[in-house]
Copies of this chain bind each other. A is one copy, B any other.
Amino acid sequence: MRATMKHVAARAGVSIKTVSNVVNDSHRVALQTRLRVQAAIDELGFVPNATARSLRSGRSGLVALALPELDAPYFAELAQHVVEAARDRGWTVLVDATGGHAEQERVAASGIRPQLIDGLIFSPLALRAGDLPDAGTGPPTVLLGERVTDAAVDLVTVDNHAVAATAVEHLAGLGRRRIAAVGAQTTETGVTARLRLEGYRQGLVRAGLPCDEALVVQAASWHRPEGAAGARALLGAVGGIDAIVCFNDLLALGVLRALADAGVRVPDDVAVVGVDDVEDGRYSRPSLTTVALDKAQIARTAVELLAARLAGARDAPPRAVVAGHRLVVRESTAGPAGATLSP
């Protein structure tokens, strides 16, 4: 049987409240008493019960992180950053991998373990406006990605339009003329995909290049196999492309592999750019030029927004923060074949 405050109080000959004060460092407790209580705590091996504390105080110190998947490098790195940022605030992270399925996302959004978590950091894939419960119902929520809802929730996003345009601009600047795109999505819910596609198109326009719809390849999900398939499709159906913009690094890594299998040289024949800057791309062959998203900033900001909302204004106007991005040039567009690593 676990020791409770009652036991400690009895042992130390004080009241239960005094024990509480010692444990929580609240109020000033006389040194004498404090020492006696501390001794009792140590002897009994008392540890405060987080559940009871949570029930009483209304705070659990738990934040949920709902992501499509943990094993995609981008989300894995993001999760790592969130866990670290949360730890700095004394929070523990509860993770939910939704698989990007609308149903699971709905469950996540309406509050994992109701009333247990203090807040939710949520990166939806399939959810649309209206699918999120009203701000009043669930716990305070910070959305990662696009504003898929009109609910009054905080948001951390990146300028996906500019991200894709940056990639195109870079390629055009290198003299590439036939720039394909891999990762478009037809689904209504692929908001990020849509924005990156628009950015790609605008990049072409700005560079004075034509938009050839035949150069745009769909990818139902943004993983390596789809990237490889996309590259094969481009090689089979279209002639003479000299660059590919991939809507994330995983797609790009699949593209690199398929191009190599087909005997296409990168960057000599075709240049490739990704988005995200996951570690794999720094060690691939060739290493991958990418538009890096500031994952640490995204994570930190999400935690900060949540903290602010918990600290005070529950119904302050929602805030939206745009995290940074920057082009990282590596071998897949520019570097010499045997360049050293750019870590």
Contacts and interface: CB of A to CB of B under 8 A. Distances in A.
Interface of A: 2, 45, 47-52, 54-55, 60-62, 69-71, 73, 76-77, 79-80, 83-84, 92-97, 111-116, 137, 224-225, 228, 253-254, 256-257, 260-261, 263, 279-280, 282-285, 287, 338-341, 343
B283 A228 contact: yes
A285 to B, nearest CB: 5
Contacts of A97: 80, 83-84
B70 A79 contact: yes
Nearest to A110: B47
A316 to B, nearest CB: 20
Given A50-B116, A225-B343, A228-B283, A93 B92 contact: no
Contacts of A282: 224
12 contacts: A47-B114, A49-B115, A54-B116, A55-B55, A62-B94, A83-B97, A93-B94, A93-B96, A94-B94, A94-B95, A260-B338, A263-B338
Contact of A96 (B50, B83, B285, B339): B83
Contacts of A69: 80
Contact of A50 (B115, B260, B284): B115
Contact of A92 (B71, B94, B253, B280): B94
A2 B115 contact: yes
Number of copies: 2
Contacts of A70: 70, 76, 79-80, 83
Residue from A52, A113, A343 with most neighbouring chain B CB atoms (10 Å) = A113
Nearest to A70: B80
Nearest to A54: B51
A254 B283 contact: yes
Given A96-B92, A341-B261, A283 B253 contact: yes
Contacts of A225: 343
A284 B260 CA distance: 10
Contacts of A55: 49, 51-52, 55
Task: List the 8 closest A-B pairs by CB distance, nearest first.
Answer: A76-B76, A50-B116, A71-B80, A49-B115, A70-B80, A47-B114, A50-B113, A71-B77
A69 B73 CA distance: 12
Contacts of A93: 94-96
A277 B80 CA distance: 21
B92 A112 contact: yes
Contacts of A77: 71
A97 B341 CA distance: 28
Contacts of A279: 71, 224
B261 A115 contact: no
Contacts of A62: 94, 113
Given A71-B76, A76-B71, A261-B341, A47 B115 contact: yes
A50 to B, nearest CB: 4
Contacts of A54: 51, 116
Contacts of A114: 47-50
A263 B260 CA distance: 17
Contacts of A285: 256-257, 260, 284-285
B76 A113 contact: no
Contacts of A137: 45
